[in-house]
Amino acid sequence: MNAVPVFYATTEGHTRLIAQQIASTLREQGLDSEARALADDMPPVNWLDVRGVVLGASLHGGSHQKVAANFARHEARHLSARPSAFYSVSLSAGSRKPAEVDAARGLAAAFAKAAGWAPNRVACFAGKLAYSQYGFVKRQILRCIAWREGAPTDTRRDYEFTDWAAVRRFALDVAADVHEQTRTPAVRAVG
Ligand SMILES: Cc1cc2nc3c(=O)[nH]c(=O)nc-3n(C[C@H](O)[C@H](O)[C@H](O)COP(=O)(O)O)c2cc1C
Cα 181 from Cα 30, distance rounded (Å): 15
Could you tell me the distance, in angstroms and rounded to a whole number, from the CA of residue 3 to the centre of ligand 1? Answer: 30
Ligand 1 atom closest to 128 (CA): 21
**What is the predicted pLDDT for the residue at 191?**
37
Residue 167 has pLDDT above 90, yes or no: yes
Q: Is 11 in the pocket of ligand 1 (CB under 6 A)?
A: yes
Residue 83 has pLDDT above 80, yes or no: yes
Tens of pLDDT, residue by residue over 114-128, are 999 999 999 999 999
Tens of pLDDT, residue by residue over 49-80, are 999 999 999 999 999 999 999 999 999 999 99
Helix 14-28 crosses helix 164-190 at what angle (to 10 degrees)? Answer: 40
CA Rg value for the chain:
17
